[in-house]
Structure 1
Amino acid sequence: MPRPLVFAHRGASACEMENTLKAFNKAIELNADGIELDLQITRDDVPVVTHDLDLRRVTGKRSLVTNVSLAEIKRLRVGRPFTRRYSGQEMMTLDELIAWVEKNPIALNIELKESFIDNPFVLEIVIKKCAHLPNVHFSSFFLEVLEQAKKVNKHIETALIATRKLNWHQLKNLPYIDAIHANKSRYYRPDYLAACLLAKKKCRFYNITGDEEFLKNPHKVVVGWITDFPERVRGVQKKNADH
C-alpha cells in the first residue's frame, strides 16, 4: 500500500512566509511530496496565491483582495510585520505558480477560497489552466464551488474540507466529492474513517506535527498528510519503512 503523500501547508510555512516562492522552494528542500496552497481572486479577476480575503495580515494593507487590482497587488510586499518592507516578496499569480511547478514538478493541493463562490468564470479558468499538471487536486470549504469545478472537468479530484456541519454518514450523497480533508484533532476517529471507507472517499488530514502515533500505521483511506513540518513527517515515514 503506498504511503500517504506529505503536503507542506502553504509551503514550508514554519520556515518561510506562507504561500510564497521561498516557502514552496523550501518545501522541496525538505522533501515534501506536495504543496498545499490557497487561491483568492483580485478585482480584475486574476487568481493569486494567498489565504486571507483581507490583505492586512500578510501585506499590511487594509483592503480585501477582491477590491484591488493585480497591479496594486504587485506593488505590495508579502511578509511579516516590520520585515516585509525590506525583505518581503511579491504575491504570486496562478500563472506564476504554474510556471514554477512546470520547472519543479510537485503535487498540488489548491484550496479555492471564498472569492470563488460567486465567480464561476474565474473558477473555470483555474480548472482549465491546471488541467495539464500531472498531480493536482482542488479543495474547498464550499460545496457549491467544488460541484461547479466538477462540472468544468469531471476528471479532476475534489476534496471537501470538513466542518461540524458535515454529515459523515451521508457522504455517498456527494458524488462530486472525491476526498475529505479534515482536522486531525477532531476527525481522525474510527467512525469517521469507517464512513469514508464505506462511501469510497479518500482522506487527507491537516495540522499534522509529526508526533502523531497514527502516522506509523495510517488507516487505508488516508492518502495524505498536510503539515507545517514536512521534514518531520517524512522522517517518521522513512523510519517506519526502514523497520
Structure 2
Amino acid sequence: MIRRIFSIIFMFVVFMCLFTVPAFAAIGETPAKQQQVVNVAHRGASGHAPENTMAAFEKAFEMKSDYIEIDVQMTKDGELIAIHDTTVDRTTNGMGFVGDFTLEEIQQLDAGSWFDEEFAGEQIPTFEEIVDKYRGKVGLLIELKSPELYPGVEEKVADVLTERNMHRPNNNKVIIQSFNHESVQRSKELLPNIPHGVLAGMNWAEVTDEQLQEFAAYADYFNPNRNFVDEELVERVHRSGMEIYAYTVREQKHADELFEAGVDGIITDFPEYVYDFPGQN
C-alpha cells in the first residue's frame, strides 16, 4: 500500500514538471520576432546625445546597437560630413546652408549645446572620421542626404569605402540608402557588392507590388515611414525579395507595433526600445 502511494506521488511530480516547467520558462522570455529585429540607432543614439555627433555614435555603440545611421552631406570644398538638415540652423550655433561652408568653417560651429550644455563644443564630424572609428565594430547605415544638391557625392562615398576595402562582398556591415532613388541606383552601380535601400516617405504609402519589384531591381531594402507599416506591407516587401527597416521610432509602443508587423529592422532614436540579445549582432 505504501509503495502504491509513493508511486502515485512520483507520477504526480513527473506530470507537474512536464507541464509546468515550460510555462515558467516562458515567463520573461522575449518573442522570437523581437529578438530577430535589427537595432538601428537613428543619427546615433539621438535620444540621448546630439544627433550625428561622435557623442551620439559612441552612445549607440555603448548601447550595443547593430547599426548607426549616418546622414551624409558635402561641404563647399567637397568634404563629406554628417548632418541631417541642409542648413546648420537647427543643430548648431550657426546659420546658413551646409554647402556654403568649408570643412574648416563648419567644424568651428558648436553642434552640441542645442541639445544640452553637457555636449557643448561637439563638432560636426567628417564621414571618414566616423568610418575609421566604427568600421568593423558596428554596422553603418549611410544615408545620402539630399544628394541632388551635391553632384558627385555618390562617387566620394564610394571612394571612402573602397579605399578601406569596405566595398567587398560580406566584408563589412554597410548599407547605403536615400530618399533620392536615382542616387541609390548610381551608388549601387558604383558599389554593387554593398546592399542598398530606398527610403520611402508618406508619399509611398500606397506602394504597389509593381513598384516594389522595380525597387528590388537595384535595392535590397525598402525602408518606409513607420506610420504606414503593417503586416501586409511587410509580407509584400518580403515577397519582392527585399527586407524592411522602418523609421523613426521615438516611443516604445511604436516599436512594439513594428515587432508585431514583422519588420526586419527598426530605426530609432532610443536603441533601448529595440532590445539587444546575444546573437543579434
- How far apart are residue 81 of structure 1 and its match? 3.4
Q: Which residue of 2 aligns with 1:16?
A: 49
Q: Which residue of 2 aligns with 1:107?
A: 139
Q: Which residue of 1 aligns with 2:235?
A: 194
Tell whether 2:267 aligns with 1:234: no
- How far apart are residue 154 of structure 1 and its match? 1.4
- How far apart are residue 4 of structure 1 and its match? 2.0
Aligned residues: percent identity?
A: 29
Give the one of 224, 247, 251 matched to 1:182.
224
- How far apart are residue 75 of structure 1 and its match? 1.3
C-alpha separation in 1, matches of 2:115 and 2:125:
21
Give the one of 49, 53, 61 matched to 2:94.
61
Q: Which structure: larger Rg? A: 2
8 Å CA contact 1:7–1:225 kept in 2: the answer is: yes
Task: Trace 1:121-200 onto structure 2 (pairs within 5 A).
Answer: 121-131=152-162, 132-133=165-166, 134-166=172-204, 167-169=207-209, 170-174=211-215, 175-184=217-226, 186-200=227-241
**Aligned residues: CA RMSD:** 2.5
Unmatched runs of 5 consecutive residues or more in structure 1: none
- How far apart are residue 207 of structure 1 and its match? 2.3
- Secondary structure of the 1:130 match is helix
More strand per residue? 1
8 Å CA contact 2:49–2:115 kept in 1: the answer is: no
TM-score normalised per structure 1:
0.86
Judged with a 3 Å threshold, the aligned counterparts in structure 2 of structure 1 residues 121 and 4 are, in CA distance, closer, same or farther, namely: same
Deviating above 4 A after TM superposition, structure 1's stretches of 4 or more consecutive aligned residues are 82-86, 214-218
Tell whether 2:234 aligns with 1:207: no
Unmatched runs of 5 consecutive residues or more in structure 2: 1-31, 167-171
C-alpha separation in 1, matches of 2:75 and 2:193:
27
TM-score normalised per structure 2:
0.75
The AA in structure 1 aligned to 2:74 is: I
- Secondary structure of the 2:275 match is helix
